[in-house]
Amino acid sequence: MESFLNSLRRSLPESVSPTQTTNEVAVIDEADPIQFWNRFTGAIENGNSLALLDPSWPDKWKEEYTELAQSQETPVSPFILIPTSGTTSKPKFCIHNIDTLRYSAKAFAKTFINQGIIHSVNVLPQYHVGGLMPVLRSAECGGKSVFANYRQLPTESDLPFDLDRASLSLVPTQLSRLLQSESSTGMLKKFGLILVGGAACPKLVLHQSLEAGLRLAPCYGSTETAAMVTFLSPDEFLSGRNGVGNPLPGMEIHIDKNGLITIDSESTQFGYLPNIGTFQRNPFQTRDLGKLDTNGNLLILGREDRVIISGGEKINPELVESAALESGLVLDALCDGVPDADWGSRVELKVVFKPETPLGKELLTSHLQKILPSFSLPKGIHSVSSISRNALGKLVDGS
C-alpha cells in the first residue's frame, strides 16, 4: 500500500496536500479536484473509510447519505462508497474498497502502459467513478494527472507531458460537443487514447470521430465494476470495427440466457447502500442487454429496464434515439413508452431540434420511416427546448 500511496502522490499535482481526519468515515462533497484529493489521500493514508457525495445534491440528500454511510455495516472495511446516479430514482452507494479500484487500475496499466499511455487529463467529476479512476490509473502507470474543463482543453504547452502519452475520458455528450469545434477537434487528435463510455455513444458521433481520425476507445463498464471492463482499441476503432471491445486482463464477459451481460472481475463492488437484498458479486449480472461477436467483442443492445413493449413487440428506445440523432436534425433525443389502452405502451419521442430546422418534424418523420421498422416508429414527436441530463450526460428525473 505504501508504494501505491507514493505513486498516487507523484501522480497528483504538487498543490495536493493530504488532509487528515479523525472521523471513521470521511465524507467528501468537494467540487474542486484539488480539495477532493486533499481529503481522499488523507483518508486513504489514515486508513479511514470514504463516502463520496455529489456536491450538487441538495443539503437534505447530503445529510441523508452521510448518515447512511456512517451508520451501516458493510461487507468490507475500510470501504469506499461511490454514488451511482439515479435516473428514475434516488442514487445509491456502490460499496468498493481500495483493492477493487486498484484491480481495475492495474488492468488498465497492463493494457496501455506498453503503448506508452501513462498520463491522464481529467475532465469528469471526481466523485464519479469516471473521474476517480483516471487518477488511480495514472498512479498505477507511474504517470501524471491533470485536471481540466472539457470545454477548454489544455494545450500541450500547459501540460507536463505530451498528449500522445495521455488518456482522456469523456461521456458521449462531451465528445459530441467537442466535435462541433474545429479547435477542440484538433486538440482531441493529439491524445494517444480517448476513452468514451458512461452511456451509449450515438453512431453519428462515432462516425464523426472516425472521420476526424481520433484515437477513440469505446468502452463498457459501470460504477459497480470500478469503471471499464471492456474496450475497443483505437486501432480497431479506426479500422471501422463496431462495439465496445474485449475484456481487460483478468476480467470476463458472458451473456446469460436472457441476453443480459454478466461480468466476472475482482473490480466488482461488494454490494449497495441502502442494502437492496442479496447481492451476487461474481458473476455480477447487469441490466444491460448485449451480445458477443465471433471474436468476443461486446456489442451493447440497450437496457433491459428501458425496453418498451408495444403491441407485443419489444422496442429498444436507444435505437430510436440513435436514429433521430443520425438524422442531423436534432441536438438531443429521448424515447419513452407511454401507457396506451390499445397497445399497452406507445412510443413517444422528445427531441431538441437544431435552430435551422423549420420543417424538423416532417423531415425527422421521413428519416425515421426509412430506417426503423414500423412498430418502432414514434406515435408522437415532441419538440422540447432541452432534455435534462447530469454532468455525465445521463438522464435525470423530469425529462
CATH of the domain at 174: 3.40.50.12780
- Please say whether the beta carbons of 26 and 38 come within 8 A: no
Residue 399 has pLDDT above 50, yes or no: no
> CA 235, 332, 390, 184 torsion: positive or negative?
positive
Percent pLDDT > 70 in the chain is 95
* Structural domain contains residue 173: yes
Supply 225's cell numbers. Answer: 465494476
**Predicted pLDDT at 32:** 95
188 lies in which domain range?
99-303
Measuring CA to CA, how many Å separate 301 from each of 144, 154, 155?
A: 36, 35, 37
Residue 356: alpha-carbon gap to chain centroid = 31
CA nearest to 262, candidates 276, 247, 272: 247
Q: Do 347 and 199 belong together in one domain?
A: no
Can you list the alpha helix ranges (DSSP code H) found in 47-97? 59-71
- Please say whether the beta carbons of 363 and 53 come within 8 A: no
CA nearest to 297, candidates 253, 249, 238: 253
Q: How would residue 141 be classed by pLDDT, with cut points 50, 70 and 90?
A: very high
- Please say whether the beta carbons of 343 and 311 come within 8 A: yes
End-to-end CA distance of the chain: 44
Domain boundary among 96, 129, 151: 96
DSSP 3: H
Work out the number of other CB atoms within 10 angstroms of the CB of residue 177: 16
Pairwise CA distance, residues 259 & 106, whole Å: 29
The answer to which of 95-104, 116-125, 168-177 has the lowest mean pLDDT is 168-177
Q: Do 140 and 283 belong together in one domain?
A: yes
Partners of 49 in the β-ladder: 25
- Please say whether the beta carbons of 5 and 44 come within 8 A: yes
Residue 241 has pLDDT above 70, yes or no: yes
Residue 91 has pLDDT above 80, yes or no: yes
Q: How many domains does the chain have?
A: 3
Domain boundary among 255, 280, 303: 303
CA nearest to 16, candidates 160, 146, 153: 146
Measuring CA to CA, how many Å separate 65 from each of 25, 44, 48, 51, 53?
A: 12, 20, 17, 9, 8
Q: How would residue 396 be classed by pLDDT, with cut points 50, 70 and 90?
A: low
* Structural domain contains residue 389: no
